[in-house]
Structure 1
Amino acid sequence: MRSHVDLVADLGEGFGSWSMGDDAALLEVVSSANIACGFHAGDPRIMDRTVADCVARGVNIGAHPSFPDLVGFGRRTVDATAEEVRTDVTYQLGALQAFARAHGTRVSHLAPHGRLGNLVAVREDYARAVVDAVERVDPDLIVLAQDG
């Protein structure tokens, strides 16, 4: 029997001139990346560069959507309806997909970030909203979630 471990890290988690983490070092060891999609971190230039870096190293690209919370890095609870979660996830996934297409690749998975990820594990309406967004945009995506 052959085993495979997909090592994943969260990347592209800066915005403007502010950066967080050593993405270049992580890209040397990971096989997949969860890329911030602009709501907790990431901006168009960072997303574009991170996707390009992943493509250059053969790293799978995943969307890392969150609540709209730059100040709290997506870790604060946002009083959002399930419909708002669905549309926010759709928007963020679509943005990353556009960069992936521009670089000749595709998004392979989606992993909710921070507080959204915590709540998806315990709120069925949020979990359904995330799955609904993925099914509407690309039903072939893998959805990663916390146990709950």
Structure 2
Amino acid sequence: MTIDLNADLGEGCDNDEALLALVSSANIACGGHAGDADTMRACARWAVAKGVSIGAHPSFADRANFGRTEMAQIPTDLRESLLEQLQTLRGIVHEEGGKIVHVKPHGALYNQAARDPELARLVVSTIREFDPNVVIVGLAGGALVAAAREAGMRTTEEAFADRGYQSNGALVPRGTPGALIEDEDTMITRILDMIVNRRVQSIDGQWCDLNAETLCLHGDGAHAVAFAQRIRKALDAQQIKVAA
């Protein structure tokens, strides 16, 4: 049994290099919500050195709100903005001897594309224009994954141990009760359920099927590295291999 562990990096935390020793995939912020040339270069260099698969983590161009504010209408310049972010990161990654293997949208863009087929198709067509061979990472069961498959793109379905789920498989919106799970024991139990039993319990108690191919470890918590180490120990105990 195998699972990919991914972490969002280059977002202003000081534990990026430490997390790269524990994950198999890295999603590097490329300027839309966070990150600059220096952080992109540092994360790319560390990922290449540690043999971690590199991905781009583009978003709505909204640094003031960390890319977490949803847009009532799809911005007309979204395609150009995403291409600029992706191409900027690609140039830096290539200079560091690496290659962008996957693309995972960030924040509001990720969540809106998971439920809005029109936005999902726009995101997919933009990524395909950038590179038709990359893997698109999206919420398991969401519209982005469906749109990518319709376009003939490869996909990886993602799950979150520290986020609450609704009974339809969508994440509980941030800022509402049950959106974040902070108890580490609960998260470990959920991780193993997601991987071994391919299911997750929603906030109303229902069990939902879940095709978890990659698991996101958020790196912005105070104990992110220690918890990532604990996750690796739990997976090792169950003989679950971590690989991109």
Q: TM-score, normalised by structure 2?
A: 0.55
Instruction: Give me the CA root mean square deviation.
Output: 1.5
Distance (whole Å) between structure 1 residues aligned to residue 117 and residue 37 of structure 2: 31
Distance (whole Å) between structure 1 residues aligned to residue 94 and residue 118 of structure 2: 30
SS in 1 for 2:65: coil
Partner residue in 2 for 1:17: none
Partner residue in 2 for 1:7: 5
**Cα 1:21–1:124 shift into 2, 3 Å:** farther
Distance (whole Å) between structure 2 residues aligned to residue 82 and residue 127 of structure 1: 13
Give 2:20's match in structure 1, choosing from 23, 27, 50. Answer: 27
Q: Does 1:142 align with 2:140?
A: no
SS in 2 for 1:5: strand
User: How many percent identity over aligned positions?
Assistant: 43
| 1:27-66 matches, cutoff 5 A | 27-66=20-59
Q: Is the 8 A contact 1:85 1:126 kept in 2?
A: no
Deviations 1:63-86 (A, max 9, x none): 000011112111012355364222
Unaligned runs of 5+ in 1: 15-19
Distance (whole Å) between structure 1 residues aligned to residue 60 and residue 14 of structure 2: 20
Partner residue in 1 for 2:99: 106
More strand by share: 2
Q: Is the 8 A contact 1:82 1:125 kept in 2?
A: no
**Larger Rg computed on CA atoms:** 2
Greater CA drift, 43-52 or 69-78: 69-78
**Residue correspondences, number:** 141
Q: TM-score, normalised by structure 1?
A: 0.88
| 1:78-97 matches, cutoff 5 A | 78-81=71-74, 83-97=76-90
